Amino acid sequence: MSSQTNLQNEDIDRLIAGTHWDPRSVLGPHSVTVNGTPALVIRTWLPYATQVDILSTQGPPLRMARIHEAGLFEAIAPSEAQVRSYRLRTTQHDGSIVEQSDPYAFPPLLTDFDLHLFGEGTFYKAYESLGAHVRTVDRITGVHFVVWAPNAARVSVVGDFNRWDGRCHPMTNRGATGLWEIFIPDLPEHTLYKYEILARQQDALLVKADPYAQASELRPRTASIVRDLSRYTWHDEAWMTERAQWNPLTAPLSIYEVHLGSWMRVPEEANRWLTYHELAQRLIPYAKDLGYTHLELMPVTEHPFDGSWGYQATGYFAATSRYGPPEDFMAFVDAAHQAGLGVIMDWAPAHFPDDPHGLATFDGTHLYDHADPRLGYHPDWHSRIFNYDRAEVRTFLINSALYWLDKFHIDGLRVDAVASMLYLDYGRKSGEWIPNEYGGRENLGAVTLLKELNVLVHREFPGAITIAEESTSWPGVSRPTYTGGLGFTFKWNMGWMHDMLDYFGHEPVHRRFHQNQITFGLLYAFTENFVLPLSHDEVVHGKRTLLDKMPGDVWQQFANLRALYGYMYGHPGKKMLFMGGEFGQWREWNHDTSLDWHLCDLEPHHGLQRLIRDLNRLYREEPALHEADFDWTGFQWIDFNDADNSVIAYLRKGTTEGNAMVCVCNFTPVPRHGYRIGVPEGGWYREIFNSDAASYGGSNVGNFGGVHSSESPCHAMPHSLTLTLPPLSVLFLKRQPG
């Protein structure tokens, strides 16, 4: 039936059927002419109402007439002034009475400029508009919802507040942008919600979590949660100011990689996780005591499956609820900064899972990925690959990255699986992939995304870093975009990691045949800004822990691991170690259980902790070990040819003359007495680090604190040192002034 204000039947039919792209054109207040007289018509659609009254401060209650049995009501006010602002008093089917403001009385909040930026892919603060945000409009507080679903016939916000009924709050479409929005007054923070989407092509009804949600329910529940994060007060001004002046390339960077859910648990309380607050109280002091400069957190973005470790995310803007609300994660980062620790976050833009509440077929189409499985399906992880060629998808991913740096003060992003993003044929056989427009295998959309991301991060957040997990020889990963690079600050040195673990896996008697593995990394060490990673990937899936990879008896296993760590800290490149490696975990990492902390009460596990603490201290205090990590001026071979003894020696140099460090490595269990190496200057060389020290669990063979050089040339140098090389050891020696 039609209304007394000549509302078109087709408008009513589309509204009731849930296919009206602009419900505001029907609902809410509208100026009309009745019998030649200007008036105001107000319509509302309340499926559960039996009676509706308009309450206004300008006049008495105005009863609304039901103009459709589905719950469409209408009233005409003689003048706009009579109902300048109003509320709706609704009598429900169950007899209850509810007062509420009318969502359709409020204008759209997205500006034309917002729509323009979103359309061209430069809406770099879309996270402040898209999603759910607490707003105050005309002195009425509520929640503004915005979602991108260009192929939907209708999108509604559903939640407890409307009985999860998509008929109640249909959103308004903002035209060609594909954005839908609605302001729902009176909704409080912590409201649970999702989007009900009527797919245009399949006529299917989908219920999806908010891609831009700032909080989510704990799995297995999947609703999004309205959160207002603007009220958190930060206390890290000193850190943020100092970070902006920080040069990460010349500063010490020692990273402790952590999975928050298994670093430590509470076994007496059903093996529960620690909360963000508890982690701040335990993890931060622990990492600080060991001398690390940064924590790297495996993904804290919301994810439905624990076994994905966070790398298959459904909430790219939501800190996982496993450990508490997002404000508590803010407090964790804040506490780290106040303790002098940076926080790096793993971020996974390579793929996403196909959980029905997530991004997959979001509006009934392959909105965020490719429909063709040769482009859109990830064979290694059985997940979906983002469509990096779509400006809106790039906006989504870039906004996710910038959001964590902006709102959570994250100091850096370690971008996961970059190689899988860069290559269209990654993990695929011939015929299973589609070349790019030039016939190549490079994913040009991914290249564009990564370059844009790195430019924005370094421009907008001075001192913040980006790290690429990139395992191929793609050129210029950590070179500026203006020189043709991808623009990352650092790149994981996967080649060094594989060479080291393979070399140390050999029995020492056979290492003479593998000397090149120890030295090969120096051929390319300065082609990128490398991080030396001993990550979680190397201690799972039957690979065994670092300690368990080492050959020999238990004493030799610990000695080998101490030597590996010593060589890592002496080698050019920033450092990264996964949790448990610092004390010698025997069992492979299991995301469902805590680390074996009882081992720290035992020697030599405790000794290994002392070694890491001392290495981190030396690394920070000695400029030679970190200032020139990415230039040949910071490194000089003394001798790399002694394969028969599996010994190498080299110099590390800072930017100031006279602060060079002599590093000598003996990778066999045989002590070497009277071993001579060349040095560039004469004097007393103090032994400032010996991985075989008794305090670390070693045999305490060494050089009694240091040695005097002689004027006997050696290794093409004018002076030399005659040393005792402990078994399976690394020595650092430094010339003393005077």
Active site residues per annotation: 416, 469
Residue 711 host element (H or E): none
Please provide residue 423's backbone torsions phi and psi, each rounded to the nearest 5 degrees.
-115, 125
- Cβ–Cβ under 8 Å, residues 142 and 159: no
In 377-520, which ranges are continuous DSSP H helix? 391-407, 418-422, 444-460, 494-505, 515-519
Q: Which residues contact 15 (CB under 8 A, 6 or more apart)?
A: 23, 26, 27, 45, 72, 170
Tokens of residue 299, six digits: 């993904």
Select from 523, 288, 310, 319 the least CA-distant residue to 416: 310
What are the residue ranges of helices labelled H in 245-325? Answer: 260-263, 276-289
DSSP 3-state assignment of 410? coil
Q: What is the DSSP letter of 102?
A: -
Beta-carbon contacts of residue 510 (< 8 Å; ≥ 6 apart): none
CA-based nearest residue to 661, from 695, 689, 700: 689
Paired with 731 in beta bridges are 664, 690
Q: What stretches of 653-728 adopt beta strand conformation (E)?
A: 661-666, 672-679, 684-690, 706-708, 719-725
Query: Residue 733: which of 704, 700, 698, 697 has the closest Cα?
Result: 704
476 SS3 class: coil
685 exposure class (CB count in 10 Å sphere: 0-12, 13-18, 19+): buried
Name beta bridge partners: 182: 145
Do 28 and 105 touch, CB atoms closer than 8 A?
A: yes
Collapsed DSSP state (helix, strand, coil) of residue 97: strand
Per the CB < 8 A criterion, the answer to whether 575 and 626 are in contact is no
66 is written with which tokens?
């039901």
Q: What is the 3-state secondary structure (H, E, C) of 517-565?
A: HHHHHHHCCCCCCEEEEECHHHHCCCCCCHHHHCCCCHHHHHHHHHHHH
- Give the list of residues 6+ apart from residue 279 with CB closer than 8 angstroms, or none: 260, 263, 323, 332
What Rg do the C-alpha atoms of the chain give, in angstroms? Answer: 31
Diameter over CA atoms, the chain: 113
Instruction: Quickly count: other Cβ atoms within 10 Å of residue 156's Cβ.
Output: 26
Residue with tokens 């063709």: 372
User: Can you tell me the distance from the alpha carbon of 663 to that of 146, in angstroms, rounded to the nearest whole number?
Assistant: 58
397-414 burial code (b ≥16 CB/10 A, e <16) = bbbbbbbbbbbbbbbbbb
Beta bridge partners of 134: 143
> Which helix (H) or strand (E) is 122 found in, with range?
none
Length reported for the chain:
738
